[in-house]
Amino acid sequence: MNKVIANMSMSLDGFIADTADGIDQLFGWMGSGDVEVPTAVDWATFRVSPASADYMSEAMAGVGALIAGRHLFDITQGWGGTHPLGVPIIVVTHEPPADWPHTETFTFADSVETAVELARKAAGDKNVVVASSKIAQQCLDAGLLDAINVDLVPVLLGTGIRWFENLAKAPVRLEGPAVVEGNGVTHLAYTVHKA
Amino acid sequence: MNKVIANMSMSLDGFIADTADGIDQLFGWMGSGDVEVPTAVDWATFRVSPASADYMSEAMAGVGALIAGRHLFDITQGWGGTHPLGVPIIVVTHEPPADWPHTETFTFADSVETAVELARKAAGDKNVVVASSKIAQQCLDAGLLDAINVDLVPVLLGTGIRWFENLAKAPVRLEGPAVVEGNGVTHLAYTVHKA
């Protein structure tokens, strides 16, 4: 069965953005290497280390749908209609935008449960990626998250938006990780322990 | 020259203890392996994976002095007079205990600057380990920290005491890490970037 995987770049002290949603300190590794990893869109090509390129290419090939929160959808302006992963997107929101034209690839769901159900169907036998911190937290709380893939960045932000800010059920035990050492990033792939 | 190294076990979400100073979720890896790593005291022997044992043995052999905060000193009751590392201890406090008998190995300093100076002298050509989160933060702020060794534990605590709670100067760029994969822990050794 496909897996639901939370994936984000995170500072060593647990932040996925600064207090103003800034990600400059966290996304630099995606453009600092020699190996190009193309995406589904012209405006985004990763340039990473050979190890990261292998890791990302394999991970990206395994993704069949993506779940995003409304905040991420808004600040990225819906990625202009096509997410770099080129997969169906499920946006969790109570108020779907009335005039969003890209209905062929975007679906709006009013709960994480519905979003996961729709994303699993859309993904077929591929995996579902959760790209927003709050949605990942809600999936964890609901027992819907199978894995957490951390791109751990060697920086301390001190303050900002924590990936796991509001866990209703903690501690959450994890298994692993599988480790891939990139350049300016360490990829850590954990499995969520299920009793 | 010797290095000043902060070293702690940390949850994936950045906590080094729960809200009640509890470390049960974070220290389990130190007793869950097959290889014994002896310490300077009878009451503490690590039992870890072969990879962790090699990593810890080398790291411990390189330590010449330890800096602790008063809070850690108090909750451990001064390790009964001998820290497992068996090295001189510098405790940062404005009010040294009047009746502490182990003056041969314990020194009390009223600032991190003084503590680092004393610890460097005591360590000779070996390294200084900083074992308290607040002291590590103050050393970082003062430019006195050379390295951060994280024993990253696969658990999300959600809440608790953050290692880097109150950084005066952030972001702090790091270099590395060197990675050693243990069992139930990932050892990440970072260098603090100095401009």
Mutate to test the interface with B, among A152, A156, A157 (most CBs of B within 10 A): A156
Helices A133-141 & A112-123 angle (0-180, nearest 10): 100
C-beta of residue B126 within 8 angstroms of C-beta of residue B63: yes
Residue A159 with chain B: CB contacts under 8 Å = 167, 170
Q: Count of residues for chain A?
A: 195
| A115: nearest Cα among A146, A94, A85, A86 | A94
Burial class (CB in 10 A: 0-12, 13-18, 19+), A168: exposed
CB spacing of A12 vs B174 below 8 angstroms: yes
Does CATH place domain B4-192 in 3.90.480.20?
Answer: no
Does CATH place domain A4-181 in 3.40.430.10?
Answer: yes
Mutate to test the interface with A, among B164, B173, B190 (most CBs of A within 10 A): B164
C-beta of residue A9 within 8 angstroms of C-beta of residue A23: yes
Alpha-carbon span B11 to B16, nearest angstrom: 7
Residue B13 structure tokens: 């979400």
ipTM of this model?
0.95
Give the gyration radius of chain B's Cα atoms: 16
A with B: how many residue pairs have Cβ under 8 Å apart? 92
C-beta of residue A19 within 8 angstroms of C-beta of residue A160: yes
Chain A interface includes B35 (CB < 8 A): no
Residue B188 with chain A: CB contacts under 8 Å = 12, 152, 186
Encode chain A (195 residues) as per-residue pLDDT tens digits.
Answer: 799 999 999 999 999 999 999 999 999 999 999 999 999 999 999 999 999 999 999 999 999 999 999 999 999 999 999 999 999 999 999 999 999 999 999 999 999 999 999 999 999 999 999 999 999 999 999 999 999 999 999 999 999 999 999 899 999 999 999 999 999 999 999 999 987
Chain B interface includes A13 (CB < 8 A): yes
